[in-house]
Each structure stands twice: as C-alpha cells, then as structure tokens.
C-alpha cells in the first residue's frame, strides 16, 4: 500500500517532483528516520547505483552509516543521479525475498541482468524492473505525462525538453509514452493493494 500512497502524493507535486519530497515521503511510509546517500566510484557500465538496507551487515557503507544507504556513481550527471537515486529508494518497499542484502545476492543479480533470454527471473531482478517503473511513476505525475503526450502528438515538445523539465535521463523519456507504461503502473498499484489486503 505504501507505493500507492507515494504515487498518489506525487501526483500533486509536479510538473517536476523534487527528489527531497520523494525521499521524505518514502521515509515516512516505511517508518525510517534517515537514509544516507553516498557517491563513489562505480563502473557505470556495470552498476549506476544500489540500495543497501540496514540488514546488509556485510557492507562497509551500512556499517559506517548505521543504517540504510543509497550508493550512486560519482560519474553520473544530475539527471542520471536523480533518477538512479529515486529508483534505488523504491527498493525500501521490497519484500525480504526481493532484497540483495549480501554480496552473493548482488553478484547473482548482476548475473541475472546479463543472463540468457527465457531464463528464470529471480525476485531481485523482478524488483529491479518494478523499481524502474515505480521511479518513473513518481517522477512524472500522470497529468503532466498526458500533457506531454498531447504536445508530442502536435510536435510542440520534444524528448530533450521533457527530459530537461523532469530532470530525468533523455534515454528514459520514450518509456513514458509506451503502451506498457500505464499497464505497468496499474499493475504496480494493484499488486500493492493486493499485498495490503492480504497483510
């Protein structure tokens, strides 16, 4: 239910939803006091960022921070850093079986990401996909997305302008207008509602 609440809260915060506003709402929804952000040298060809829960007792970042940490690559520009941060904070909504709370689980996830087509999808990989769409859903309120879609149809706005206004990577702007976008957002909301009803 927490993601539904976050998604609904963000609908009135646009057109550009602040990362700090998302962070504050997420922390309130999961009952956490803080989450640290660490920028470090990561190979962006392999990993742009990661979420480390307080359960990840092997991580030096978690030990130093004393709790939850989002790690982003220092090489990311402002739009990438913003998107990666928001996508990683969505992992605070993960079920325990979706978490990558050990080095072995993280390595397994990296292997899954480059695995053969048709292979079995791990809960961690499913979580990565979910968090991607969850991040897009909160970074672009639906009314704003529909306005952009209408203006794109009339050739009044281009993807670069949308990326600049939303402060998201240009590469992800087309995802906002794919037929699967709304299908994925509705699926995330219905999954969250089902979990809330069963819990």
Q: What is the pLDDT of residue 132?
A: 94
Q: What is the pLDDT of residue 102?
A: 47
Q: What is the mean pLDDT of the chain?
A: 84
Q: What is the pLDDT of residue 162?
A: 97
* Percent of the residues in the chain that have a pLDDT greater than 90, as a whole number: 49
What are the pLDDT digits (tens) for 46-82? Answer: 789 888 877 776 777 777 767 788 889 999 999 999 9
φ, ψ (nearest 5 deg) of residue 39: -105, 130
Contact at 8 Å (CB) between 17 and 146?
Answer: no
What are the pLDDT digits (tens) for 145-178? Answer: 999 999 999 999 999 999 999 999 999 999 999 9
pTM: 0.86
In the predicted structure, residue 94 carries a pLDDT above the cut 60: yes
Distance, CA of 104 to CA of 17 (rounded, Å): 35
Mean pLDDT of 33-52: 85
Distance, CA of 132 to CA of 126 (rounded, Å): 10
Q: What is the pLDDT of residue 44?
A: 81
Measured between its terminal Cα atoms, the distance across the chain in Å is 10
Helix locations, 11-102, DSSP H: 19-30, 60-65, 78-89
* Percent of the residues in the chain that have a pLDDT greater than 70, as a whole number: 81
């Amino acid at each position: 239910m927490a993601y539904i609440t976050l998604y609904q809260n963000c609908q009135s915060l646009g057109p550009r939803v602040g990362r700090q506003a998302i962070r504050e709402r997420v922390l309130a929804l999961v009952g956490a006091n803080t989450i640290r952000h660490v920028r470090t040298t990561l190979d962006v060809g392999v990993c742009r960022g990661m979420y480390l829960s307080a359960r990840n007792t092997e991580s030096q970042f978690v030990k130093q921070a004393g709790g939850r940490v989002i790690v982003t690559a220092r090489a990311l520009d402002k739009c990438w850093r913003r998107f990666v941060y928001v996508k990683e904070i969505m992992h605070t909504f993960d079920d325990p079986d979706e978490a990558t709370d050990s080095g072995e689980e993280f390595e397994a996830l990296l292997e899954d990401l480059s695995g053969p087509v048709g292979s079995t999808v791990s809960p961690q990989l499913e979580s990565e996909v979910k968090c991607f769409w969850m991040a897009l859903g909160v970074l672009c309120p639906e009314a704003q997305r529909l306005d952009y879609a209408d203006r794109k149809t009339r050739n009044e706005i281009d993807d670069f302008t949308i990326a600049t206004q939303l402060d998201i990577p240009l590469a992800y702007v087309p995802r906002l207008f794919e037929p699967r976008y709304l299908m994925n957002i509705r699926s995330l909301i219905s999954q969250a509602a089902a979990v809330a009803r069963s819990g």
